[in-house]
Amino acid sequence: MFSSPEEVFEKEKKYMMQTYKRPRMVLKEGKGATVKDSFGKEYIDCVGGIAVNAVGYCHPMVVNAIKEQAGKLMHISNLYYTEPQVELAEKLSGISGMDKVFFCNSGAESVEAALKLASKVTGKHKFIAAEGSFHGRTLGSLSVTFETKFRSVFEPLLLNGVEFVRYNDAEAIRKAMDDDTAAVILEPIQGETGIIIPSEGYLKEVREICTEEGVLLILDEIQTGFGRTGRWFCKEHEDVEPDIMTVAKAMGAGFPIGAMLAKEGIEFETSEHASTFGGNPLACATALAAIKVIEDEKLVERSRELGAYFMEKLHEDAIGSNPIVKEIRGKGLMIGIELTKPCGEMVEKALERNILINCTSDTVVRLVPPLVISKEQIDKVISVLYEILQ
Ligand SMILES: *Cc1c(COP(=O)(O)O)cnc(C)c1O
């Protein structure tokens, strides 16, 4: 259809809103933890579709599940029962320890649902979020997103009772609470802000404060979920149970699907919330296959082990002691390398050397590869990063 990558770039510019800045290459196919561009150049992918492609590209079980379900019933609306949806709800409940599920199509939508649900069950309308938070781009989810660069041109936003407090400071949350506080919303690790990992005990303390004050706790596990941090969900590291949890990204192995999960009794009633596409049979069959791959191939454990290996190698190979490197932090295969300067140049140089990495919050190189990445591929990534840093 296109005669050259240049034609793709030109038409993209002509016909699409310029919301994304991208490198000049066109990606065509992927397998495992690698992708190929239109010239057949192969890259090791440490971006993973932004922590989405956990089971790797074109996993046969996922591809087959899509083919099979697409040949049966793709969409029917939520006016009718379907089996994949109910099966997925049961499965999600089992792996997450949450009781009830509402299906939607993206991360931001699951946050919207969570905010609405918290308002409805508490009858209150204020939210507390953390400085540095990222919860999505729709007006509601943007209202609890901190960064000025995402918000400023749209202000005033929809929710006006949002207070931002310092991340990793549980007492600040207590101080921000008042009689109209519905919920606290937090990422267990801040992803978009540069893989910010709170101190041990923080989430537990927040949980206790919320329970004492009768305020709901919403954990946004959209980026950290489905094995990314070496547990099914990041909350397990600290044994913390939220009242509401949001998931999306890796849930459908690349097929768009999200869900809001909640504890018994924290629920919408008939007609209070809905989504036309939410939880359609194709999306749910795909997510069921993705979860089965994570189970069968023990990807949660793999994330934990390879994450530890990755971190150890980063330190061993003197990347951590390079003067440009400020800090390396991570949990499972969610790793950030904070530099003392913007990392755009490093991203470009890695691309030239067949490695995809990306930059969050200007100075942090984010590594969130497919959980199926191999040790050899990790070694390759590290040697390239080392070379660039030299
Ligand atoms: C990506 C992300 C979102 C938004 O998800 P979309 O699917 O892009 O709407 C929300 N919260 C967190 C923590 C995320 O990483």
Residue spans per domain, the chain: 13-59+298-389, 61-296
Pairing of strands 355-356, 42-45: parallel
Q: Cα–Cα distance between 156 and 107 in angstroms, integer?
A: 22
Say yes or no: CB of residue 107 within 6 Å of ligand 1. Answer: yes
Q: Are 55 and 32 in contact (CB under 8 A)?
A: no
pLDDT for 283 equals 98
Q: How many CB atoms lie within 10 A of CB 39?
A: 10
Query: Which of 20, 53, 135, 144 to mutate to test ligand 1, by most ligand atoms within 8 A of the CB atom?
Result: 135
Three-class DSSP category at 371: coil
pLDDT for 197 equals 98
Fill in the DSSP letter of residue 198.
Answer: P
What pTM value is reported for the model? 0.97
pLDDT for 160 equals 80
- Candidate CATH numbers 3.60.10.10, 3.40.50.300, 3.40.640.10, 1.10.3470.10; the one for domain 61-296: 3.40.640.10
Q: Cα–Cα distance between 127 and 145 in angstroms, integer?
A: 11
Q: Cα–Cα distance between 119 and 100 in angstroms, integer?
A: 17
Q: Cα–Cα distance between 266 and 313 in angstroms, integer?
A: 44
| 75 half-sphere exposure, CB direction, 13 A CA radius | 5
Say yes or no: CB of residue 134 within 6 Å of ligand 1. Answer: yes
Q: Are 278 and 112 in contact (CB under 8 A)?
A: no
Say yes or no: CB of residue 225 within 6 Å of ligand 1. Answer: no
Q: Cα–Cα distance between 98 and 246 in angstroms, integer?
A: 11
Expressed in angstroms and rounded, the spacing between residue 214 Cα and the centre of ligand 1 is 27
Mention every residue, 6+ apart, whose C-beta is less than 8 A from residue 285: 65, 66, 68, 69, 84
pLDDT for 163 equals 97
Q: Cα–Cα distance between 279 and 290 in angstroms, integer?
A: 15
pLDDT for 167 equals 98
Is 99 annotated in the active site? Answer: no
pLDDT for 317 equals 83
Q: Cα–Cα distance between 374 and 367 in angstroms, integer?
A: 14
In tens digits, the chain (390 residues) has pLDDT values of 899 999 999 999 999 999 999 999 999 999 999 999 999 999 999 999 999 999 999 999 999 999 999 999 999 999 999 999 999 999 999 999 999 999 999 999 999 999 999 999 999 999 999 999 999 999 999 999 999 899 999 998 888 889 999 999 999 999 999 999 999 999 999 999 999 999 999 999 999 999 999 999 999 999 999 999 999 999 999 999 999 999 999 999 999 999 999 999 999 999 999 999 999 999 999 999 999 999 999 999 999 999 999 999 999 888 888 999 999 999 999 999 999 999 999 999 999 999 999 999 899 999 999 999 999 999 999 999 999 998
* Residue of 249, 255, 310, 331 marked catalytic: 249
pLDDT for 259 equals 98
| 152 half-sphere exposure, CB direction, 13 A CA radius | 3
Query: Which of 19, 53, 139, 192 to mutate to test ligand 1, by most ligand atoms within 8 A of the CB atom?
Result: 192
Q: Cα–Cα distance between 288 and 93 in angstroms, integer?
A: 12
Expressed in angstroms and rounded, the spacing between residue 338 Cα and the centre of ligand 1 is 21
pLDDT for 316 equals 87
Expressed in angstroms and rounded, the spacing between residue 108 Cα and the centre of ligand 1 is 6
Nearest residue CA, atom 15 of ligand 1? 223
Q: Cα–Cα distance between 203 and 107 in angstroms, integer?
A: 21
Expressed in angstroms and rounded, the spacing between residue 36 Cα and the centre of ligand 1 is 26
Q: How many CB atoms lie within 10 A of CB 111?
A: 31
Instruction: Please report, to the nearest 10 degrees, the dihedral formed by the alpha carbons of residues 37, 43, 45, 47 taken in order.
Output: -60
- Candidate CATH numbers 3.90.76.10, 3.90.950.20, 1.20.58.340, 3.90.1150.10; the one for domain 13-59+298-389: 3.90.1150.10
Three-class DSSP category at 31: strand
Three-class DSSP category at 157: coil
Is 243 annotated in the active site? Answer: no
Q: Are 238 and 204 in contact (CB under 8 A)?
A: yes
Tell me which amino acid residue 144 is: V
pLDDT for 152 equals 92
Q: Cα–Cα distance between 307 and 328 in angstroms, integer?
A: 12
Nearest residue CA, atom 6 of ligand 1? 107
